[in-house]
Amino acid sequence: MPITLRDVATRAGVSPSAVSRTFTDGASVSEKMRRKVEKAARDLGYSPNALASAMTTGRTKLIGLVSNNFQNPIFLQVFDLLTRKLQDCGLRPLLLNLTGETDAKTAVRMLQQYSVDGAIVASSTLPPEFSKSFRDAGVPVVNSFGRFSTSPEVHVVGVDNSECGRMAARTLVERDYKTVAFLGGPEAATSTQDRFRGFFQELAKHPHVAHSHSFAAAYSFDAGRAEMQRLIAAGDMADAYFCGDDVLSIGALSAVADAGLNVPQDLGIIGFNDMEMARWENINLTTISQPIDQILQSSVDLMVSMLDDPDRSPEVRLFPCKLIERGTLRPLS
């Protein structure tokens, strides 16, 4: 038979309510009582029932992880880090896949069915309305990889995507490329819009550099490969491309190799994210690194603080990106 709370109480010689308080965060219990109960629990092999605790405290410790871009391998890294960071804080992740979902109300209902204590939206392609819908439903929410705003309606943690676009443009100009292009993800994604904007804002300072742009259907390998194949077939190639994501860059590199072109001799490519695959020797992608670990740790910190203070005013936390030099751009002269 499973060991119960009453078994622990009998073993420790205390009341069941004392055992319950011992295993309830923030409950009042003396140190002597705590040691006695914890020893009895260890001796019996007892573990507190999370569902029973939720019924007592009104908190499930469930945090919804909301995303929609499961084709992109970077999110394997994101979910690995995010789930471990939540678990380290005693919280339980509940993954919600919104791929193909356009109705924010449906997403809210899905989370409410599980009585989550909060939600972390780990996406740069879901519109801001999704995060706002959670907030409006009374669910504490953090938008990781969200869009910068001077007057945020929800907590946002990420990078300044416009500045990252400017960084990519400066990198190509410094390497003396005469024609450059932006190959972005879905045009409707705010991350695509901001990287595109920053890229061309910087290029406007260099009128001698010709530029163009195009957009892939998704942040995926296949979409990046298909768009680069289309550009190659059209025959009007740029000297270098800023791809709005590493997985797009890797797809583009595949198309370039199939066409018999050489990187970086025939054309240059710079990506964005610094995903693990970008470091592989057969890819060796020059890219702009997004500090994913810092973004996710800050997201979890904000979530923990909101569980204690639900009325905390929304804030934006931005982290700097940096250039990672590898082998897909010509070196500085």
List of domains in the chain: 5-48 (1.10.260.40), 62-159+291-319 (3.40.50.2300), 161-290 (3.40.50.2300)
Kindly indicate the confidence band of residue 162, based on its pLDDT and cuts at 50, 70 and 90: very high
Rounded to an integer, the average pLDDT of 74-78 is 88
165 and 202 in contact (C-beta within 8 Å)? Answer: yes
Rounded to an integer, the average pLDDT of 323-330 is 96
Rounded to an integer, the average pLDDT of 216-222 is 92
The identity of residue 304, as a single letter, is V
Q: Is the pLDDT of residue 142 over 70?
A: yes
Rounded to an integer, the average pLDDT of 83-99 is 88
Kindly indicate the confidence band of residue 328, based on its pLDDT and cuts at 50, 70 and 90: very high
Among 48-57, 217-226, 308-317, 320-329, the least confident range: 48-57
H or E, element range at 158: strand 155-158
Q: Is the pLDDT of residue 289 over 60?
A: yes
With the CA atoms of 170, 128, 308 and 36 taken in that order, what torsion angle do they form, in degrees rounded to the nearest 10?
Answer: -90
The conformation of residue 10, written as its DSSP 8-state character, comes to: H
Distances (CA, A) of 225 to 36, 193, 194, 242, 243: 63, 20, 22, 14, 11
Q: Is the pLDDT of residue 53 over 60?
A: no
Rounded to an integer, the average pLDDT of 131-160 is 88
For the chain, the 3-state helix, strand and coil shares in percent, each to the nearest 5, are 45, 15, 40
Most confident stretch, 65-74, 163-172, 311-320:
163-172
Distances (CA, A) of 216 to 26, 167, 180, 243, 244: 50, 21, 17, 10, 10
Residue 79 CB-density burial (10 A; 0-12 exposed, 13-18 middle, 19+ buried): middle
Q: What is the pLDDT of residue 300?
A: 95
The runs of H, that is alpha helices, within the chain are 5-12, 16-22, 31-44, 50-57, 74-88, 104-113, 128-136, 161-174, 190-203, 221-234, 246-258, 292-308
Q: Which residues of 117-134 are buried (b: 16+ CB within 10 A; e: fewer)?
A: bbbbbbbbbbebebbebb
Ramachandran category for residue 88: left, alpha or beta (phi over 0 → left; psi -120 to 50 → alpha)? alpha
Among 13-17, 110-114, 287-291, the least confident range: 110-114
Residue with more model confidence, 178 or 149: 178
Query: What is the chain's mean pLDDT, rounded?
Result: 89
Q: Is the pLDDT of residue 101 over 80?
A: no
Q: Is the pLDDT of residue 58 over 80?
A: no
Rounded to an integer, the average pLDDT of 227-255 is 96
Most confident stretch, 84-88, 184-188, 267-271, 312-316:
267-271
Q: What is the pLDDT of residue 110?
A: 82
* Percent of the chain with pLDDT strictly greater than 70: 94
Rounded to an integer, the average pLDDT of 78-86 is 93
* Lookup: tokens for 89: 């804080």
* Lookup: tokens for 316: 């934006």
Q: What is the pLDDT of residue 1?
A: 67
Residue with more model confidence, 48 or 29: 29
CA distance 282 to 327: 10
Q: What is the pLDDT of residue 51?
A: 53
The two beta strands, 179-184 and 210-215, are: parallel
The two beta strands, 141-144 and 268-273, are: unpaired
What is the value of pTM for the model shown?
A: 0.81
Ramachandran category for residue 13: left, alpha or beta (phi over 0 → left; psi -120 to 50 → alpha)? left
